[in-house]
Amino acid sequence: ERGAENGMKYFSKSSEAIRKGVVNRFENEERDAVKQLE
């Protein structure tokens, strides 16, 4: 998953704030995708 390890897996060189934003965005995208499948 793109948000694996709290963003550290793919965004290890980014700041903590950027990683948090990315992880939050991925979680929102996943939630929206699941809603569309319902």
* Residue 34, H or E segment: helix 16-37
Residues 19 and 4: their CA atoms lie apart, in Å, by: 11
Q: Can you give the pLDDT at residue 34?
A: 96
DSSP 38: -
**Tens digits of per-residue pLDDT, 10-37?**
888 999 999 999 999 999 999 999 999 9
Q: Can you give the pLDDT at residue 1?
A: 67
